[in-house]
Chain A
């Protein structure tokens, strides 16, 4: 029987008196790319952060590689080292060059030598066309370059899965296209990804399926084409009519 890489069972997250996730069930297989879409505040980013325990779920289970990581005593740092995380606002370490951003985790967490880390960084930077920018600091990069550097930093750790939290939301259309191209290349390279986005263009070109969330629940999961156009559910139809112009 095929086992999902990540299995989320009835996940609930409550912040004080506000319940953001109301029993989410979703799975992600090895090599699969799932995009999570939905209106702002529907719990997409919270779901992603619950999966690597940056946010502690209130109840429910997250099964990662067959292990329940929500149980007490789990090695959170080991879990996170297997999950690459790309933030909306890049979150590059601003005091480090692009190359040092990439090698920091390799030397301090993966315990590679400086030479090994550098070789790995060079390889990954070339993969996304950032090699010539390796000595630049984040402030010297464009938004698209920053996000590509952030993707490299996450990828260099050889994660089992890459989480992308609104990777194109803070970019203008041209830079956004640049990042979509990189993510699409990862998709073609069979990198397992969970991506939260409002960007229908990104969703269409990188996803195996799209999960639509509404008010803390998964309302529907389907391939992008079926979800985006004339969906029978009025809430989904209304949402995608408002956000996309794919034709």
Chain B
């Protein structure tokens, strides 16, 4: 079996790696945005709950949370499918980190621009939609890219819950051909390729929406 063959076998799992990464990023975006937004409400119990969420989820290792969900919850009679387990662990942790990124970016939007939108007759939702959101997403870009690449690098944990992604394929292949170094070198190359592809895509998006002179206030 040539190195090229090894690469081709492992690449079969790349689709799952991309799927896990995208699903967790999507979850992180939705959760992060929701937490950052809801944190602005003045209802104290909610603010405390959201603070605790970000505080706890940023401090728990992905693998520990993943095992709690996948192996722990069935003990309570709740069986969580593998992909959903990734969402509830890596996705939520990503959300907790992104909530901080978004919160900082939201604070960086000029207060006077929001006031200008309100003075024009926009409501809170409109001023958020047309003034705050477009700017905060741009301000968040470096933090988001950082977080997205972290998600990709944590995605191999998916093999521990049986998702047939790259690592799972590698773990199956190594005992058969007994060439671990080459197999994991191939794994590294595939991950690096996916990482570069993601980075290229994110950077292209960032460049597409870049506004001259727009910097955090």
Contact = CB atoms under 8 A, between A and B. Distances in A.
Contact of B121 (A80, A89, A93, A138): A80
Contact of A93 (B126, B131, B212): B131
A54 B120 contact: no
Contacts of B212: 137, 139-140
Contacts of A91: 110, 112-113, 115-116
B37 interface: no
B118 A80 contact: yes
B106 to A, nearest CB: 14
Nearest to B214: A94
B135 interface: yes
Nearest to A163: B119
A131 B204 CA distance: 31
A104 B112 CA distance: 17
A60 B110 CA distance: 31
A142 B213 CA distance: 13
Contacts of A139: 211-214
A153 to B, nearest CB: 8
Interface residues of A, number: 27
Q: Taking chain B's interface residues, is the majority helix, strand, or loop, or is none over half, making it mixed?
A: helix
Given A108-B130, A139-B213, A140-B212, A85 B122 contact: no
A142 to B, nearest CB: 13
Q: Which of B110, B115, B116, B130 has the most CB of A within 10 A?
A: B116
A95 interface: yes
B122 A108 contact: yes
A93 B120 contact: no
Nearest to B211: A95
B215 to A, nearest CB: 8
Given A93-B131, A94-B213, A95-B135, A85 B120 contact: yes
Q: Which of B115, B121, B134, B135 has the most CB of A within 10 A?
A: B121
Contacts of A78: 121
Q: Which of B110, B115, B119 has the most CB of A within 10 A?
A: B119
A108 B135 CA distance: 18
Contacts of A79: 121
Given A91-B113, A94-B211, A137-B211, A80 B130 contact: no
B123 interface: yes
B138 interface: yes
A137 B214 contact: yes
B122 A109 contact: yes
A180 to B, nearest CB: 21
Interface of A: 52, 54, 77-81, 83, 85, 87, 89, 91-95, 104-105, 108-109, 137-140, 153-154, 157
Given A77-B123, A95-B134, 20 more contacts: A54-B115, A77-B122, A80-B119, A80-B120, A85-B116, A85-B119, A87-B115, A91-B115, A91-B116, A93-B116, A95-B138, A95-B211, A95-B214, A104-B130, A105-B122, A108-B130, A137-B214, A138-B213, A139-B214, A157-B121
Interface of B: 110, 112-113, 115-123, 126, 130-131, 134-135, 138, 211-214
9 contacts: A77-B123, A83-B119, A85-B116, A89-B112, A91-B110, A93-B130, A93-B131, A94-B113, A139-B211
